[in-house]
Structure 1
Amino acid sequence: MLSIASLILAACAAPPSLVQTELFIAGQGGYHTYRIPSIITTLRGTLLSFCEGRKNSRSDSGDIDLLLRRSYDGGQTWGEVQVVADHGEDTIGNPTPVIDRDTGTIWLLLTKNPGYATGEQLMSGYEAGTRTVWVTHSNDDGETWAETEEITDTTKKTDWTWYATGPGVGIQLQSGRLVIPCDHRKQGSQRSYSHVIYSDDHGATWQIGGETSLKNNECQVIERRDGSLLLNMRSNHGRNRRSIATSNDGGLTWSNISFDEALIEPRCQASLLRYTSVTQSGASLVLFSNPASSERERMTVRLSRDDGATWAHSRILHAGPAAYSCLTVLSDGSIACLYERGDADRYEKITFARFSLDWLTGES
């Protein structure tokens, strides 16, 4: 989120048009496929681009590592790939970072499961293993990371089977609370639910927050100017529209869901992010990205001027096959979207797209 001073500088500093760079390409670097992008801008302005490196196939299970590339110049150049977490032949992924503005610590929430377990087994309650919740952190802008630590006991109920953090990013509320959007399934049911976990002690401990009604899945969250939270969810209701819920108690409980009729989706992850700070006067700008179609294609970025109630502007980043995405705001006011795309297939590469607010609104 940007301060007023940053926004004033942004008009001159931000790039006038769309620039796209391939960061991870399938089949290169020792991995069959790269998936599940996540990007965040640190307090020092460093860009951290995370993804899963899937060793042997594009499957959601198997030997999957958590990878990172960093940029110190707004995405013009990138460092080599770092392995943040490698749990042998098991799956470690679903990256969801959040930055504590009070301490500067970058927390990274992850999920893990046995690499030999299929998604169907994990969702039904697999005797030999389940999805577990993990966390790591960095205090040096992502250069090094602590050993991953399991936090399943306080963040997952005993009758939950499948579990996913994010994917995308978490947020810090004005109160200081760290909030991570998640989803889960329950034992004996194939129905999915969205929920959040949170920390009120700067990441030292994590707790389960509220969950939504059924048929909601991967989600992202923002804090609105009135202090309420808006949860935007992948929907399994068969309407090809995003599900929406709100919270007035920091994510401990959630309202009944509604549907944002403007946000068409193909049942896919999406990104939701504030552009302006909740404490800033004037327009309350919110960004959203997803494949705006009934198929996984047409990666589109939208802008809301009223806290996500309506969507005033949209631009297409890639008209062809596309899937998961994650947005961030750079320190100069420009916007970046890290997303999956390809020419013949949506998982050919993960692309970093950078553009200005003027480009998004059609004013450049």
Structure 2
Amino acid sequence: MGARREPARTVLFARERSGLTYRVPALLPVPPGPTLLAFAEQRLSPDDAHAHRLVLRRGTLAGDSVRWGGTHVLASAALEGHRSMNPCPVHDVRTGTVFLFFIAVQGRTPEAVQLATGRNAARLCCVTSRDAGLTWGGARDLTEEAVGSAEQDWATFAVGPGHGVQLRSGRLLVPAYTYHVDRRECFGRLCRTTPHAFTFYSDDHGLSWHHGDLVPGLRSGECQLAEVEDGQGGCILYCNARSPLGSRVQALSADEGMSFLPSQLVPALAETAHGCQGSILGFPAPPSSQPGHTPQPPHSCPRAQEPSEVKVPRGPLCQQWTPGGLGLGEGPGEPGLRPALRGVVGPSTPGLPKLPVATSPSPTWLLYSHPTGRRARLHLGIYLSRAPLDPYSWTEPWVIYQGPSGYSDLAPIVPLPTGAPVLTFACLYENGSRVSYEEVSFSMFSLRDVVQCVSPGPELPMARGGKARGRCLPS
């Protein structure tokens, strides 16, 4: 039988008659079960300046479906006199702690005012939970610690939105972007700001946080991250970002997000006219797709290090496939790539190392979700790449929602609801019948569904330039 043309959809948050609107979803699975944490912004109106506070719904797997609890307002995820925006959760598997990052923006100061004046009004904050989202601690303002003196050159900044990642080395990464002030004075006015993606990171299980260097080269904004095996025995951190250039932008890091090589366009992933956030998710390719692969028995995570034992890793490590799903295995070693130059902001710099271009199937595959419309936020699509380092490797999209749609967040479901060795994913996304911010909905689907819907057959026949043929639209 063919794959479902459109997965089942559950509405988790819906616009209310009072005007209360829910936007900017984030989705995080945490063990046991797993428990699914679905976050969103609660706004007094759809306007960014009317963002108010963050909300959460917790879900538990029940067979092939999810049983959802009620909406819970995260009262502690706030600063006095500020509005809470951009939920960005990340889970530390070694301590069991969930970190929910967000920005707290002063009053109703819009982003446009910050860009016009060059005066940042955002604070970097997080709250934590040690019981899978049942209870949350107080807000921690990390701006001085994690941003520091760099704030004087940032017109504004934000995290995510959507999920962060933990590398197998233990490093926690929170995707972020800033509008860097390139020239501050021009006849008494701010001259120019340029958006650049970057990361916040912690190597001591969240005790302290730091920021990495800005992604150099092309303009890059809202972003997400994935750890990718390069097919040559090493791993690379992959960043996929929103851009005003007509296509998405990607950037690669050989030092776990502390610096990036110059960004490049991804022609296969079109951006909407005014841009839109998109989600990226890395996962181990199925064993059957890896020539000569012999499945290994499941293995447990390495012993969690105490903060005093943690060392800054010299090379990234990857998640490995195990027959039971997404497991944490032994790392394949150093990536064999020189890290990018530090502190580079602006055009590509001659002499930077060139990363290998993998046009053959990789040990790591990527999923990507984003509206497929070029002029407007319409028709949410799921894309697949079997060779993530090749910007032309993306398939045509499988449209999982036909109609207005916007921001989204992808997550793996492990262990699987049925216990079968089939990768299952979830997507939390904005959608509506007239505008994209009427609802925030949840859908689940398998890798088999994706493969059958993004191409005519399971082998994903490649056209010239590495772009897969075929398209799957809802009935």
TM-score (norm 1): 0.89
Structure number with the bigger relative contact order (C-alpha 8 A, sep ≥ 6) is 1
> CA 1:183/1:122 → structure 2, altered by over 3 Å: closer, same or farther?
same
Counterpart for residue 292 of structure 1: 372
Instruction: Give 2:253's match in structure 1, choosing from 235, 247, 254.
Output: 247
Correspondence for 2:445 among 348, 355, 358 = 355
Pick the structure with more strand per residue.
Answer: 1
Structure-1 residue corresponding to 2:200: 197
Q: Distance in 2 between matches of 1:348 and 1:265?
A: 22
Q: Distance in 1 between matches of 2:96 and 2:363?
A: 27
The alpha-carbon distance between structure 1 residues 122 and 196, as it changes in their structure 2 partners (threshold 3 A), is same
Alignment-derived partner of residue 221 in structure 1: 225
SS in structure 2 at match of 1:124: helix
Deviation at 1:140, TM superposition (A): 0.1
Aligned length: 346
Query: What's the offset of the Cα at 1:278?
Result: 3.0
CA contact (8 A) 1:134 1:149 kept: yes
- Residue 116 of structure 2 aligns with an amino acid whose one-letter code is S
Residue equivalent to 1:139: 130
Alignment of 1:54-69 (within 5 A): 54-55=43-44, 57-69=45-57
1:301 paired with 2:382, answer: yes
Amino acid at match of 1:231: C
**Looking at CA atoms only, which structure, 1 or 2, has the larger radius of gyration?**
2
Q: Distance in 1 between matches of 2:321 and 2:277?
A: 29
Q: What residue is the counterpart of 1:10 in the other structure? A: none
Where structure 2 has 5 or more consecutive residues not aligned to the other structure, the ranges are: 185-191, 285-317, 323-361, 417-422, 459-475
Question: Pairwise mapping of residues 107-256 of structure 1 onto structure 2 (< 5 A)?
Answer: 107-125=99-117, 130-156=121-147, 157-158=150-151, 159-187=153-181, 188=184, 189-213=192-216, 215-225=219-229, 226-237=234-245, 240-256=246-262
For residue 76 of structure 1, give the secondary structure of its aligned residue in structure 2: strand
Q: Deviations over 1:97-155 (max 9, x none)?
A: 1111111111111101122212212223476x711100111100000111110000132
Q: What amino acid is aligned across from residue 78 of structure 1 in structure 2?
A: W
- Name the structure 1 match of 2:12: 23
Indicate the RMSD between aligned Cα atoms, in angstroms. Answer: 2.3
Could you tell me whether the CA contact under 8 Å between 1:314 and 1:361 is conserved in 2?
A: no
Counterpart of 2:200, as a letter, is I
Do 2:85 and 2:105's aligned partners in 1 also have CA atoms closer than 8 Å? no
Shift of 1:312: 4.1
Moved more, 60-69 or 275-284: 275-284
Matched residues in 1 for 2:405 and 2:373: separation? 10
Work out the CA distance in 1 between the residues paired with 2:27 and 2:15: 19
Deviation at 1:311, TM superposition (A): 2.3
Secondary structure of residue in 2 paired with 1:153: helix
Partner secondary structure for residue 222 of structure 2: strand
- 3-state secondary structure, aligned to 2:68: coil
Work out the CA distance in 2 between the residues paired with 1:63 and 1:90.
Answer: 10
- Deviation, 1:16, is 10
Are the aligned partners of 2:51 and 2:85 in contact in 1 as well (CA < 8 Å)? no
Contact 1:155 1:208 survives alignment (8 Å): yes
User: Which stretch of structure 1 is more off in the superposition, 190-199 or 84-93?
Assistant: 84-93
Distance 1:63 1:316 in 2: 29
* Contact map agreement 1:17 1:356 (CA 8 A) in 2: no
Tell me the secondary structure at the aligned position of residue 362 of structure 1. helix
Equivalent position SS for 2:112: helix
2:38 aligns to what SS in structure 1?
strand
